[in-house]
Chain A
Amino acid sequence: MSALLEVDDVIVRFNIRSGLLQSGISIDAVSGVDLKVEEGKTYGIVGESGSGKTTLARAIAGLHHASEGSIRYRGRELRDLPESQFRQLRREIVMMFQDPIGSLSPRLSIKSLVTEPFRIQGMKDRDLDAEAKRLLAMVGLPQEFASRYPYQISGGQARRVGVARALALGPKLLIADEPTAGLDVSIQGEMLNLLARLQDELGLAIMIITHNLNVVRHITDNVGIMYLGKLVEEGPTEQVFANPQHPYTLALLAANPEPDPDAQLMRVELQGEPPSVMQRPTGCEFHNRCPFVKPDCNSIVPTWTDIGNGRSHRCRYPETWKMNENTQ
């Protein structure tokens, strides 16, 4: 299998000036992430606010500069690619932004919005009316929407316009940042079904960024769990859900309230608050919130452990905490 996108040890660093007399300090919002997205597959990145998911996505799409590491698309290095060359690539790597209405210019009609990529790429030979028609049909919006403006459509419809726009040029890789945030459950299903259908039709690889585990579970092939700028666990979605290896994954899964009043929830209480990237904990980043912490977790940085079947994790005591969990 050939990976469409390979991300190796990427660090995205921001410099922060903190006051008049202090010299600038820097924070690593993404702090060494490796992942691979295969052609035609869906990769989900799950993590809480501030874990660096969006920063990672933007770095892949060339919107943030990756300070270290390597991002390769079809074997070609994207880091440090000049903007003029990156623009060509934006026909193949597209991003769908989080805020559906906010990412559509209020002054452009839906037709102009969905055909904007052709204008940006200077594809003057295209019949924009026909393209608009094709794209609206593809995402299941009625043709009369072409003449409407963003304020005249609902949140769910705005998402569809976002999809149409992203897929206008026939990309190979779609990066979707929280594609269902703020949608009602019934519409959320429509959105995910649409993405799944388009993936089958167009052979698209999708990278989904979300904090909604239920979404990840149904539509992704592989999943990476992100905590404080690093992946802590990775593998085929079903296996990760069935048998999490990292205590943070377990806590996330257990914190997912089930729509059943009698569900016996095994809660894993996390202590304290999510740490700040400005004061990154020593050793294992998760140690000060981990319910199964061991004395040396605060000094030794865990490395990746490969457990086969494409699964790996960064917890040094997966067996011990699992035993504790069963006896509790």
Chain B
Amino acid sequence: MNKPVLDIRDLSVSYNTPRGPLRALRNVSMKIPDKKIVGIVGESGCGKSTLISAIIRLMAPNATVGTGEILFKDKNLLDRTTTEMRNLLGVDISMVFQDPMQTHNPVLTVGKQMVDIQYRDSLPKADKRKRAAEMLSKVGIPDADARLNQYPFEFSGGMRQRIAIAMALMAKPSLLIADEPTTALDATLEVQVIKRLRELQEEVGCAILFISHHLGVIAELCDEVVVMYAGEVIEQGSVRDVFHDPAHPYTRALLDCDPGHIKEKTRNLPTIPGEIPDLVDVADGCIFQARCTHVHGACANRPNLQPVNVAHNVACHLNQTEGAV
């Protein structure tokens, strides 16, 4: 396995709320190997966004990091000063956000914005502009030189998201964080964006942390997948292992729920009964036990991530007692 570019160890983050600390992330560990695409999948409230904000250190004012470290190229990001972080972001770590309609400045041309973000390089402006045009054509925007003079509203949603990707990759970062970059796009455009992302990832040679709740997109794009539930990592492994042989009951339920998986027409779709637990008052034991169909005595203790096989881990007691179910 490649040396990880990002190594998150035992990270816990909580938010101070009037009801007490809301434990949004609890002992989360994951590795993003160099030049790989790792997908994080989980439903609303599973801690995906908190995790990203912790990595890029843009946490809400009421968030506190309890334990853990986030090692980026062997250095803990949580120890960095604001200035050090600022020099890292947009250079070695960059990000593509969810909503392509709102990530660009509406009153500046795309070219101006793409030149502005190269402020760290002491190149003549013409060269920066040329580089911007090259990057635009790489993401499949025809007639790039002329289009640099256009404003964001003159581009379609799919194009704007591709421009955001071009901007994020222009500095050739080691890590790209993509937060649901295709959720706001239509199916045919989603396919285009994913294809570009994969091509560029190979060309730039960066690692990608790809957040999505769309299982189909994860299956198609990622090498590895991390499944999160209510602030914990519950399963992690290669996309093939996790999607073909899910070891955690939640992963299985989530896959069953995806209507894309159901080939026969049905009027009664599977669901996961129950609600996500209240993270202010986290009960002991397995976090999924209240909704799990396989709950048993051992579930009163919190399961740790244990290997199912090489590079496929699950946090479920069933794994130890019966082997992979």
Q: List A residues at the B interface (Cβ < 8 Å).
A: 48-49, 155, 184-190, 192-193, 196, 211, 213-215, 217-219, 237-238, 251-252, 255-263, 265, 267, 270, 273-274
B284 at the interface (CB under 8 A from A): no
Which of B70-78, B266-274, B301-309, B312-320 sits within the interface? B266-274
Say yes or no for B257: interface residue by CB 8 A criterion. Answer: yes
30 contacts between A and B (CB under 8 A): A48-B187, A184-B44, A185-B213, A185-B215, A185-B254, A185-B257, A185-B258, A185-B259, A186-B272, A187-B43, A188-B259, A189-B257, A189-B271, A190-B271, A192-B269, A193-B271, A213-B187, A214-B258, A217-B259, A218-B262, A218-B266, A218-B267, A252-B187, A256-B216, A258-B261, A259-B258, A261-B244, A263-B219, A273-B159, A274-B156
Complexed CA–CA distance, A193 and B267 (Å) = 7
**A150 and B117 alpha carbons, distance in the complex (Å):** 41
B260 within 8 Å of A by Cβ?
Answer: yes
Within 8 A of A (CB), among B259-311: 259-262, 265-272
Question: With A and B bound together, what is the CA distance between A192 and B258 in angstroms?
Answer: 12
The CA of A215 and the CA of B271, in the complex, are separated in Å by 14
Expressed in whole angstroms, the Cα–Cα distance for A213 and B216 within the complex equals 13
Q: Does B158 contact A (CB under 8 A)?
A: yes
**Which residues of B sit under 8 angstroms from A185, Cβ to Cβ?**
43, 213, 215, 254, 257-259
Q: Contact: A214 with B191, CB < 8 Å?
A: no
| A259 contacts B215, C-beta separation under 8 Å | yes
Q: Determine which of B188, B190, B266 lies in contact with A251 in the assembled complex, contact meaning CB atoms within 8 Å.
A: B188
Chain B 12-50 near chain A by CB (<8 Å), digits 1 or 0: 000000000000000000000000000000011000000
Residues of B within 8 A of A188 (CB): 257, 259, 269
- B186, CB-defined interface residue at 8 Å: yes
Report Cα–Cα, A14/B269, bound state, in Å: 39
| Complex contact B269–A189 (CB within 8 A) | yes
Bound CA–CA A196/B267 (angstroms): 6
- Give the CA-CA distance A150 to B272 in the complex, in Å: 23
Name the distance in Å between A100's Cβ and chain B's nearest Cβ. Answer: 13
- Chain A positions within 8 Å of B4 at CB level: none
Neighbouring A residues of B266 by C-beta, 8 Å = 218
Of chain B, the residue at the smallest CB distance from A48 is B186
How far apart are the CA atoms of A213 and B274 in the complex, in Å? 26
Within B220-266, the residues touching A (CB, 8 Å) are: 220, 239-240, 243-244, 253-255, 257-262, 265-266
Partner of B219, one of A260, A270, A273: A260
Whether A258 lies near B216 (C-beta < 8 A) is: yes
Q: List residues of chain A with CB within 8 A of the CB of B158.
A: 273
For residue B85, CB closer than 8 A to chain A, the reply is: no
In the complex formed, the residue of B with least CB distance to A220 is B265
